[in-house]
Structure 1
């Protein structure tokens, strides 16, 4: 009996020895799906993704200043490309892990119609967006309003959050009647799960290609490599599809 236990005792630490942590900077639009992705990643690989949520623009500045993030999941494709060019990202690890969608949303289930005609009515209350200088979804909101010819109408009513998470909170708490948010923030299992929403037509804004990249601090970390590989898996993509992302 004792001899049978020895291989088990020797084998037990092996999985732990190979398991590790990866520090991940994640764009705020990925808050909800990343919770499930991180949990499934841990179950599949034994590695732990330690997630920090924020705006892509702010992460860029922090990474330039030496923040020890090992993987970036951005809300755009430009920021990872810049980091790779600047030598702060590992060459050859950058890829598009999702394409996001913009939605006009209200916590009130009767406010936003499926065609977004509410935008063409006289403004009633505030309109929340993410800071377009820091957050790609904020820039997409401004672009959509501009193409609709409604930016001047809504400009006085706009309130800005630092990132798309704050913009969503403004609308969710009623501090703003409407909000331009990431579809993923109000969708689950392939349908809008709360409030009312208009999925903004893709032709009204530049495609929200979201790229990931391994950063220099993660170059030798197997957990970092494992995470980017997991994001390419069918399991991860099935999760992201449930939140409205495309590929």
Structure 2
């Protein structure tokens, strides 16, 4: 039976309004710009986050450099999960973030990967042999994993030798797709794209030693649009917690 508001006692109606307001304040959405390499982990974390907090995470995925431009142009993101630490630091310096909210949520690992079983050896010697036709990397100007890939090539003395073989993705997702579809025999990808629970899930890979490139420290920060958002603050705290940490480590990241 429907109860009309006019029949409710004033105190009852006030209680309902208060409960509705309380519920709305407790459960909210947070708009998050997520570096493409972190797609799989954040999707897993988002499900737990919503279940545990009631807040819903709405994610957009892309290259860190492109997100910087979008944020500067007024994109409605409240939290930024970057693929580096320099871009959030720059936004912080420019006054676009909530002071004190920036922290490193993961340290990324680079991998040389082929969709073919046995194509990439455990030490990455296939890279030096230079017998492949195409080598996929992410745009080094926009994607930190792409920059790390160019540093590895330089360290191996291969920059000039392979420059005509490089196919460049706009972000690490596209770099991965070039390899997964066979348009490139191998490519530099984020380990998180091909790794789960201690093993490479498909193809063959060389996990690049961290000493061969600058550390891929990935920072998170609350942007100014999220300064009054309970969901934004809850997400940042959740990413620091043990449940999120377990997911992040399972995809091959360091903490």
User: Does the pair score TM above 0.5?
Assistant: yes
Partner of 1:179: 187
Are 1:134 and 1:163, in contact at CA under 8 Å, matched by a contact in 2? Answer: yes
Indicate whether 1:112 and 2:120 are aligned: yes
Partner of 2:208: 200
* Secondary structure of 2:120's aligned partner: coil
Counterpart CA distance in 2 for 1:39 and 1:189 is: 18
* Secondary structure of 1:156's aligned partner: coil
Partner of 2:96: 88
Are 2:128 and 2:156, in contact at CA under 8 Å, matched by a contact in 1? Answer: no
Partner of 1:231: 239
Give the C-alpha shift of residue 191 in structure 1: 1.2
Partner of 1:140: 148
Are 1:123 and 1:154, in contact at CA under 8 Å, matched by a contact in 2? Answer: no
Indicate whether 1:190 and 2:205 are aligned: no
Give the C-alpha shift of residue 189 in structure 1: 1.4
Counterpart CA distance in 2 for 1:15 and 1:44 is: 15
Counterpart CA distance in 2 for 1:234 and 1:127 is: 37
Give the C-alpha shift of residue 190 in structure 1: 2.0
Indicate whether 1:153 and 2:161 are aligned: yes
Partner of 2:62: 54
In the superposition, the TM-score normalised over structure 1's length comes to: 0.94
Counterpart CA distance in 2 for 1:45 and 1:183 is: 29
Are 2:112 and 2:207, in contact at CA under 8 Å, matched by a contact in 1? Answer: yes
Aligned pairs, number? 240
* Secondary structure of 1:97's aligned partner: strand
Partner of 2:172: 164
Are 1:71 and 1:213, in contact at CA under 8 Å, matched by a contact in 2? Answer: yes
* Secondary structure of 1:39's aligned partner: helix
Give the C-alpha shift of residue 193 in structure 1: 0.7
In the superposition, the TM-score normalised over structure 2's length comes to: 0.91
Give the C-alpha shift of residue 76 in structure 1: 0.1
Indicate whether 1:67 and 2:80 are aligned: no
Partner of 2:228: 220
* 1:170-218: CA deviation from partner (whole Å, max 9, x where unpaired): 0000001001000000001121111100000111000000000000000
Give the C-alpha shift of residue 125 in structure 1: 2.0
Partner of 1:3: none
Unaligned stretches of 5+ in structure 2?
1-11
Partner of 1:102: 110
